[in-house]
Every structure is written in C-alpha cells, then in structure tokens.
Structure 1
Amino acid sequence: MNASDEEQFREYAAARMDDLRSLAFLTCGDWQAAEDAVSTALTKLYVQWTRVALPHRYACRVVINAAIDEKRRPWRRERVTHDDDLDRATPDATDAVGERDRLRRALRQVPAGQRAVIVLRYYGDFTVEEIAEMLGRSTGTIKSQTSRGLATLRKALGLAEGGERDGEFARVARGR
C-alpha cells in the first residue's frame, strides 16, 4: 500500500469510526464487543483497501459478521460476579434515552441474522439488494429475514402488526 492509499484509509477510518461502532453495537448489544468487531473489520479492510471497490459496504459487512462472531465466542458468555454487579444503574429519566434503551433491549431479542439485516436496512440505510450482496444472501432471504425480524421486534416492543412504526427504528436508533 502506498502513502496515498494509507492516507485515504486513515481518513475513511476516522470519518466512519462512530458509524461502524454504532452498527456493531446495534448488532451485538455490547460496547466492548462492538469495539472488537470494528477493530477486526478495520484490520481486514486495511489489508483489502486497494482491492475493494466500495469500502464502506465492505466494512459494514465485515463489522456485522465480526459482531455476530464475537458474541458467539464462549469467553463472551462468561460472567464474573462481584458485589459491584448488585448495584444497578437507574435509567435516565429522559424519554429519548428511555426509548433508545427499550429499542436496544427489544433488538437483542431478535435472532442475530435477522438483527443484522434490520440494522443494515433501517440504521445503515442500505437497500435490500445492497444487503443481499453484502451478506451473500438472496434478496428473497433478506426480505423474509426483515419481515420476521420486524415481527419479532414489534412483539418485543408490544406493537401491533403493521409497518407504520418501522421507520421509528431508524429515528430512535440514531438518536434523532
């Protein structure tokens, strides 16, 4: 990699770090695992930088895969308990923070593959075709996983069937 390519990579990483971290967090629900997933993704992207035509699409795909893989690792399931764990933080009183927390908790109930599709579709704002290409699945699979994932999300949130509030995911997840 030449100096110009390396500089472009640094600029990309600096500009997209927060987006990639949020994408990973929404996929796995754990900030530390999200950081690890982004680190893994940027390492892989760096190696492939000159060969990748669409770096952001590639990075999102690798972040999603890394976030799902990170949660599957056995050591991630181990929990050490201390007296500090008994101290529970009180939820923030603001409606926006409460709604985002409610959405994140509900999102964790959606299976990982469906959650990845929902996050890419509504948070990442990718098309069905782009997601299918990124994840190496058919558009029909992406559509059915989106439908099933939204149904699970609606159920977890206690919402009625129907798509009138599906756009709320993107707004709440982005904090707008």
Structure 2
Amino acid sequence: MRQSDSDLNVVRVGVETVDLSIREDLDADALVYDMLHRIDFDAAGLPNVVVQSEIDPATESLLLDHDVVLYSCGAPEQPDWNLKAWIWRFTLSLTVLSSDPMRCRRISALLNRRIASWPYEEPTDHGKVGRLVDNPGFRKISAGDMTTSKTITARTSTKLVQAASPTNTTMPA
C-alpha cells in the first residue's frame, strides 16, 4: 500500500530553495550607475561632471566645458561556491577625463573616497555593495585612445567590488 504525500509529511519547495545558485545575477552596471549618481559633485565644488558608461560621439565635445567620468563593469562572478550564492564579485574600471589636471585629480580623489564608503551606504534596487576587495588609487594615463585633444588629462583605476544581488540586499555582503 502506497502512502500519500500528506502521510509522509513531504514538504514541497521550489528548486531555488534547494539550490541557492539558481537565482537572479547581479546587474553590476545598474548598481554602479545608481551608486555613482549618488555622488554630489556640485557640493564638492566640482560642477559640470558627467558620468557615462562608455565613450560616445559627444564625449569629445563634452570635454570642452565638462569633466567626464567613464565607468565599465566586468561580468559578475560568484567568488566561491562555499559562500552565499547571492554574493558576486566584479571589476569596476573608472577613467576621469578633464581639460584641467588639478580638477582631474580632485575628481579622482573624490571618487576614490566615495567608492570606499559604498559598503556603508544603503542598498539600491539593483543590489548592495558589501566590500571592496581591491581598491587601488587612480593613476595618470594617456588620453590619446579616448580623445584627439592633446590638452585632456586622464586618470584611471580598476577596483574589485563584492556585492549582494537585489533579492538579498538585507544580507551583508
């Protein structure tokens, strides 16, 4: 005689409950977009800063009277299957372009300071930064690959960010 599920006290759960790796991945670009747009450049005495995810045809003309922050995120990866499945790591590459070398340095310093504080900030709709695994400062580079102008200063930094996916933003990363 076969027993019914109710006689066996069988609990049915979704596969996401059993295998935590089956979940929404982290939208690193959207998370970084939200976090960068929380920075008040005007209040820091740096008006006319534009944040972009890539160089477009208007970038060079923007540099005539604006400073530009370019950012790019690597693909999010789960660092270790033994960790919580909602934890992701990704690289964040930032480049600051400015016609004024001192402004370029000030913007870079502000970005470095504010990004270092991201683990202490509230989550966004796209996740929460838990920690910066690697947070090097900015270094000066040639702007020749990004603009034809010889008067543009460029500084860059690549950081390694650890963040929680949005379904678990209440959990510490």
TM-score, scaled to structure 2? 0.28
Q: Which has the higher strand share?
A: 2
Q: Which has the higher helix share?
A: 1
